[in-house]
Every structure is written in C-alpha cells, then in structure tokens.
Amino acid sequence: MFPLAAILGIGSKLIDKFIPDPAQAEQAKLKLLEMQMTGDLAQLAAETDLAKLQIQTNVEEAKNSNIFVSGWRPAVGWCCAAAFAYSYVLLPFAQFLVFTFGTTGMAEQLALAPRLELSEMMPVLLGMLGLGSLRTVEKVKNVEGNR
C-alpha cells in the first residue's frame, strides 16, 4: 500500500497547488480518497507503469542498428501514410479527373479500383501518432518533447 499512499500524497499536493479555492480543493481531495478506496488509483498506477515500460522498449528498439528491429515502426507509418494518400488524395482526384474529362469506359474501370478499409487501420495510426490516452498523461506531466 506504500505506493498508493505516495500517490495520494502527491495528488493532495497537486490539488493544493492547482486549486486555490479551499472548498474545491477539499472536494477534489475527497474524490481522490474515493478513487483510492475503489481501486481506481491502483489501476491508474499500474497503467502508468505499463506505459513507462512500453516507452523504454520503444527507445531501445529505435536505438538498434538492425533495420528489422528499428525499422518496423517507420514501415508501418509509411504504409499508413500511403493508404491515407491513396484513399483521401489519389483516388478522389483520379475520380474527379475521369468523371470530368474521361470516357464512360474509364469511369467504369475506375469504379473497380480497390477501396481500403481504413477503419481497421485507424487504431494503428492513432496509436503511432500518440493520439491515445497515454499522450494525455505525457501532456499533463509535461514530458520532454511536448510541442
């Protein structure tokens, strides 16, 4: 229970620092105590520890000189970028040109062009861009590299 007590102490200090109104600060501290009692605080601590381990793994992978270890993230990123470029720039522009200046046969062929299922790719892309909940943790803690 020691780590939880430490987190609770830090949380109380942060509340005192960022909430100047004593009544609101006490209400926030009460909410923090409720979180500790329900176990939400322990779950948050475990998730934060897991995120730290993943960040350490990512850094070690990026340092590796083997392209199959350090290059998989850029490869997935370029695949996502190519799929977005195809789906949102190239295909619509080609459709515009064919439907505006092309013939019926060209339009029929373009209609057969494959469509990419981007809904399956979005979680991968959003995770790589850091647009998940962990990015919020970084911003709150002002982790190096924030822009």
Domain boundaries defined on the chain: 1-66, 71-147
- For the chain, 147 residues long, give each residue's pLDDT as a single digit of tens: 446 556 667 777 777 777 888 888 888 888 877 776 666 667 777 788 888 888 888 788 888 888 777 788 788 888 888 998 999 999 999 989 888 887 878 888 888 888 888 888 888 887 777 665 555 555 556 655 544
Give CA separation, 98 vs 87, 90, 103, 114, 142, in Å.
16, 12, 7, 16, 49
Angle between helices 72-85 and 118-129 (to 10 degrees): 130
